[in-house]
Structure 1
Amino acid sequence: MSIEYIIALCFIGFTAAFIDSIAGGGGIISLPGLMILGVPPVFALGTNKFASTCASFTSSLTFIRYRIFDYSLLRYLVFGTLIGAAIGVKTVLFINSSHLRIIIIVLMIFVALYTLLAKNIGSENKFEGVNKKTITIGLIISIALGFYDGFFGPGTGSFYIFLFLTLLNYDFKISAGNGKILNFVSNITSVILFSLNGKIMYSVAIPMAAAMIFGARLGTKVAIKNGAKLIKPLLVSVTFLYAAKMIFDVIH
């Protein structure tokens, strides 16, 4: 790729990582950007995963530093995410992920509408504590979204935030921190498998990753400072935009 394309991808990556670190959905920007510039679909998935993993690692460290996550539950969910992501990557190497589009469109619209209409969602942390019920729900979330992230990816962060809000009653900031840490686990699992199968264009992935690290650092600090008043409207906006983009892709 020419230097102009690389610069364009770095700008795209920075913007995607900034948004993703707050409300998820950065893949809405970064993955299409790679494909528009001519990267084949499977290589685009692998390359985007490498760059976004660097960003999610940076964002996760910031949430951990400020202790905005729940270790008591996440220690159980990490293994579910690993298993789901590994199965997801293995699946995407053999199956066309476009078959997921209609399902994801419906889910994204539901997430956006529910988050928009539920007035008190995420305003307080009402998590009931670690028990068999919350561990079971958490494992279902982590395995399902780990698989989705390895198989397709875009929107995973938004789904994590939404499910932690609605099923486990965390507030917006803890939901974002938990989701970003688990998202990193599934990302690194996916990157290893994509790399072993030779599906990463490192000449593109490395400069894009550098830009995404800066975007993630800035976005995470903004999310921690502003909490629900920023995360909620951005989550709604991102999910609506992603659904609209996918509808456009299906039509064309």
Structure 2
Amino acid sequence: MITTGILIAGSFLAGLVDAVVGGGGLILIPLLLTTFPALPIPVLFGTNKVAAAVGTTSACVRYARAVAIPWRTALNAASFAFFGSWLGARAVSLLPKETMKPLVLAMLILVGIYTFIRKDFGKETRSELTGRTLTLAASVVGLTIGLYDGFFGPGTGSFLIFAFIRWFGFDFLKASATAKVVNLATNLAAILFFATHDGIMWKLAAMMAVANLLGALVGTHLALKHGNGFIRWLFLGVVSILVAKLGWEILMPLL
């Protein structure tokens, strides 16, 4: 009972953070791994994805009512992300995930430094890509980050937000809202794969999903109320925690 309560509380916090800047898996995956060390990792990943998908759906709906989401870009990226996430989920049992950590760590450090130095980064919407360039960019971003999310996952929301600001000219709020649409597609693809291959702890996933939904409602409320400045600092905080976590995991075996 206590363990379930911790997982539900963690799911609420994950939903809150994930609704604003992504990174919910940073909270839930370690909790699931600690609670169920004997279960296959794909089962835990699938359970996490069910909770995350419910919270992400709530965030999508809330953002759509308040933010002008560029639906053509979002849906184009989401369709490729769905396909990429499916392929990434298939690769979970085929490739050593440890090989991803140094590369992801380096990328997160660069993203954090760039965002911190560029004080105007994501403060307002700039000129956006148009025509075929926009379509191609959305497809590439969706497929690439979809593959990453299905296979590894940590920082997916942060990478999406950074991409939408840096290359599409969105502000933080618009980027966060668009990222939720893409993230929902990657979550659904991963759920579909894990449910038909390794299985999901559906009862636990349902309880965690309710908590994640409530957390997402709080997170979107805070994001819409406090705007780009709040999202920027939370974004930097999540990226910093991800860097510390991955750095520790890489260094631990060497100590």
- Which of the five TM-score ranges fits, normalised by the shorter chain? over 0.9
Match for residue 147 of structure 1?
147
Q: Which amino acid aligns with 2:161?
A: I
How many angstroms apart in 1 are the aligned matches of 2:48 and 2:190?
A: 11
Deviation sequence 1:18-50 (CA, Å, 0-9, x none): 011111111111111111112432222111111
Change (3 A) 1:116 1:247: same
* Unmatched 5+ stretches in structure 1: none
Match for residue 29 of structure 2?
31
Match for residue 74 of structure 1?
74
Q: Which amino acid aligns with 1:13?
A: S
Match for residue 61 of structure 1?
61
Provide the alpha-carbon RMSD of the alignment.
1.3
Q: Which amino acid aligns with 1:8?
A: I
Match for residue 15 of structure 2?
17
**Contact 1:112/1:236, CA 8 A, preserved across alignment:** yes
How many angstroms apart in 2 are the aligned matches of 1:156 and 1:78?
A: 13
Pairwise mapping of residues 169-180 of structure 1 onto structure 2 (< 5 A)?
Answer: 169-180=169-180
Q: Which amino acid aligns with 2:249?
A: D
**Contact 2:15/2:215, CA 8 A, preserved across alignment:** yes
Pairwise mapping of residues 156-195 of structure 1 onto structure 2 (< 5 A)?
Answer: 156-195=156-195
* TM-score of the pair, normalised by structure 1: 0.95
Deviation sequence 1:221-249 (CA, Å, 0-9, x none): 11112111101011011001111011112
Aligned residues: 250
Q: Which amino acid aligns with 1:212?
A: N
**Contact 1:80/1:139, CA 8 A, preserved across alignment:** yes
How many angstroms apart in 2 are the aligned matches of 1:127 and 1:86?
A: 32
How many angstroms apart in 1 are the aligned matches of 2:227 and 2:194?
A: 34
Pairwise mapping of residues 63-142 of structure 1 onto structure 2 (< 5 A)?
Answer: 63-142=63-142
Match for residue 225 of structure 2?
225
**Contact 1:73/1:130, CA 8 A, preserved across alignment:** no
Deviation sequence 1:89-143 (CA, Å, 0-9, x none): 1111322322211111111111111111111111111142531112211111110
**Contact 1:113/1:236, CA 8 A, preserved across alignment:** no
- The sequence identity of aligned pairs, in percent, is 27
How many angstroms apart in 2 are the aligned matches of 1:102 and 1:204?
A: 32
